[in-house]
Structure 1
Amino acid sequence: MGASKILIIGSINMDLVLRVPYIPQVGETLLGSSVERVPGGKGANQAVTAAKLGADVSMLGKVGGDEFGGPLIDNLRQAGVNTDHIDLESASSSGLAVIQVNDEGDNSIVVLSGANDLCDLSYVTAHENLIKEADSVILQLEIPHEAVYAAVNLARKHGKTVILNPAPAPDSIPDEVLGKLDYLIPNETELQKLSGQTVDSIASAKDAAKVLLAKGVSSLIVTLGSNGSLYVNANESFHVPARAVKAVDTTAAGDSFVAAFAVGLSEGRSVPEAISFATKVSSIVVTKAGAQTSIPERNEVDAFV
Structure 2
Amino acid sequence: MSHIVVAGSINVDVFLDVTALPKANETIIGKAMRQAIGGKGLNQAVACAKLGPPAHMVAAVGDDALAPQATAFLAQNGVLTDYVKGMPGATTGLANILVAEDGQNMIVVTPGANGLLSPGDIDAASSLIASASALVVQLEVPLATVRRALDVARQHGVLTVLNPAPVDPAAMELMRLADLVTPNETELMRLTGISDVSDASLITGLNALIAAGAKQALVTLGSEGCAALMDGALVRLPAYKVKAVDATGAGDIFNGALVTRLVAGDGLLEAMRYGCAASALSVTKPSANACPTPAEVAELMAQQPQIAL
Q: TM-score scaled to structure 2, two decimals? A: 0.94
Mapped partners of 2:199, 2:29: distance in 1: 36
- Shift of the 235–206 alpha-carbon distance from structure 1 to 2, 3 Å rule, reads closer
Q: Is the 8 A contact 1:202 1:230 kept in 2?
A: no
Instruction: Determine the structure 1 residue equivalent to 2:38.
Output: 40
Aligned partners of 2:150 and 2:178 also within 8 Å = yes
Structure 1 residue runs of 5 or longer lacking an equivalent are: none
2:297 alignment counterpart: 301
* Residue number in structure 1 paired with 2:307: none
Distance 2:162 2:67 in 1: 25
Q: 2 CA distance for matches of 1:148 and 1:199?
A: 28
Task: Show the counterpart of 1:269.
Answer: 266
- Measured in 1, the distance between the counterparts of 2:52 and 2:140 equals 25
- Report how far residue 259 of structure 1 moved: 0.7
Contact 1:218 1:233 in 2 (8 A): no
Structure 2 residue matching 1:85: 3-state secondary structure? strand
Q: Secondary structure at the match of 2:228?
A: strand
Deviating more after overlay: 30-39 vs 206-215: 206-215
Q: Deviations over 1:127-164 (max 9, x none)?
A: 11111111100000000000101111111100000000
Deviations 1:54-104 (A, max 9, x none): 321011001111121101000000100111110122311000000001010
Shift of 1:233: 4.9
After the TM superposition, which of the residue ranges 87-96 and 137-146 deviates more from structure 2? Answer: 87-96
Range with bigger deviation, 69-78 or 203-212? 203-212
SS in 1 for 2:56: strand
Match of 2:183 in 1: 186
Q: Secondary structure at the match of 1:217?
A: coil
Instruction: Tell me how far apart the structure 2 counterparts of residues 202 and 195 of structure 1 sit (CA, whole Å).
Output: 15
CA contact (8 A) 1:220 1:233 kept: no
In the alignment, structure 1 residue 90 sits paired with structure 2 residue 100:
no
CA contact (8 A) 1:218 1:234 kept: no
Partner of 1:135: 133
Provide the secondary structure at the position in 2 that maps to 1:83: strand
Unaligned 5+ residue runs, structure 2? 304-309
Indicate if the aligned counterparts of 2:15 and 2:33 stay in contact, CA closer than 8 A. yes
Equivalent residue, structure 2, for 1:117? 115
Runs of 4+ in 1 over 3 A off after TM superposition: 233-236
SS of the residue corresponding to residue 249 of structure 1 reads coil
Report whether the alignment pairs 1:282 with 2:240.
no
Deviation at 1:256, TM superposition (A): 0.5
Q: Distance in 1 between matches of 2:131 and 2:14?
A: 35
The superposition leaves residues 105-136 of structure 1 with CA deviations (integer Å, 9 ceiling, x where unpaired) of 00000000000011111111221111111110
Structure 1 residue 180, shift from structure 2 partner: 2.1
- Indicate if the aligned counterparts of 2:172 and 2:209 stay in contact, CA closer than 8 A: no
Q: Which segment is superposed worse, 26-35 or 162-171?
A: 26-35
The superposition leaves residues 198-230 of structure 1 with CA deviations (integer Å, 9 ceiling, x where unpaired) of 133343222211122221211111000011001
Verify the 8 A CA contact 1:162 1:180 in the aligned structure 2: yes
Structure 2 residue 241 is the aligned partner of structure 1 residue 244: yes
Asked if residue 75 in structure 1 is aligned to residue 73 in structure 2, the reply is yes
1:143-197: CA deviations, max 9, x gaps?
A: 000010111111110000000000011023244x312211000001100011022
Aligned counterpart in structure 2 of residue 162 of structure 1, from 149, 152, 160 = 160
TM-score (norm 1): 0.95
Q: Are residues 235 and 200 of structure 1, via their aligned partners in 2, closer, same or farther at CA, if it must alter by over 3 Å?
A: closer
Give the AA of the match of 1:60. V
Structure 1 position 258 matched with structure 2 position 252: no
Q: Which residue of 2 aligns with 1:54?
A: 52
Label 1:161 to 1:209 Cα distance change in 2 as closer, same or farther (>3 A). Answer: same
Question: How much is the aligned-residue C-alpha RMSD, in angstroms?
Answer: 1.3
Which of 139, 142, 145 is the aligned partner of 1:144? 142
> Hey, what's the Cα distance between the residues in 2 that align with 1:23 and 1:193?
22
Displacement of 1:235 after TM fit?
A: 3.2
